[in-house]
């Protein structure tokens, strides 16, 4: 079994979509939310989380956006949950995301794409440590 780090981004919180998105995750058989917290991210946390994108043109606006309001941070555990949550989220660009996916149903702007989910087992372990150090 796997675990993954999920962030419901500030646009999801501002638009009142967190309940809807959490429901979709809860309804998947065999997945469990094992940690959940509403919090506003500081610069240090965001630098650690998005360090791989530092220097890219979208990095600064991305970090500014991610600090613009609270996010819901979660650990989700279960069978193939890493791949599964990426599929539930849809591709990074919401316009390319199929209806039925979270980004496909609610997103338009690439930066404001509602949800983050770890992209590999290595990323998941790294990100869980950043957001829930007690759960490492």
The residue within the footprint of ligand GTP, chosen from 24, 111, 126, 129 (CB under 6 A), is: 111
Nearer to ligand GTP, 29 or 37 (CB): 37
Q: What is the DSSP string of 71-117?
A: EEEEEEEETTHHHHHHHHH--SSGGGSPBTBHHHHH--SSS--SEEE
Instruction: Give the residue from 98, 128, 91 showing the smallest Cα distance to 113.
Output: 91
- The distance of closest approach from Cβ of residue 64 to ligand GTP in the complex, given in angstroms and rounded to an integer, is 11
Residues of this chain, 76-95, that bind ligand GTP according to CB under 6 A: 92
> Is 119 among the residues that bind ligand GTP (CB under 6 A)?
yes
Quick note: the x/- pattern for ligand GTP over 25-54, rule CB under 6 A, is ----------------------------x-
Contact set with ligand GTP (CB under 6 A) = 53, 58, 62, 92, 110-111, 113, 116-117, 119
């Amino acid at each position: 079994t796997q675990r993954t780090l999920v962030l419901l981004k500030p646009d999801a919180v501002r638009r009142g979509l967190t309940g809807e998105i959490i429901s979709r995750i809860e309804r998947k058989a065999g997945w469990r939310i094992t940690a959940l917290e509403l919090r506003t991210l500081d610069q240090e946390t965001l630098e650690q989380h998005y360090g791989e994108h530092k220097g890219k043109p979208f990095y600064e606006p991305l970090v500014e956006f991610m600090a613009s309001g609270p996010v819901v941070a979660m650990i989700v555990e279960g069978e193939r949950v890493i791949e599964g949550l990426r599929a539930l989220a849809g591709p990074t660009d919401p316009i390319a995301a199929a209806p039925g996916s979270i980004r496909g149903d609610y997103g338009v702007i690439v930066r404001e794409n509602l949800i983050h989910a770890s992209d590999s087992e290595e990323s998941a372990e790294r990100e869980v440590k950043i957001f829930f150090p007690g759960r490492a």
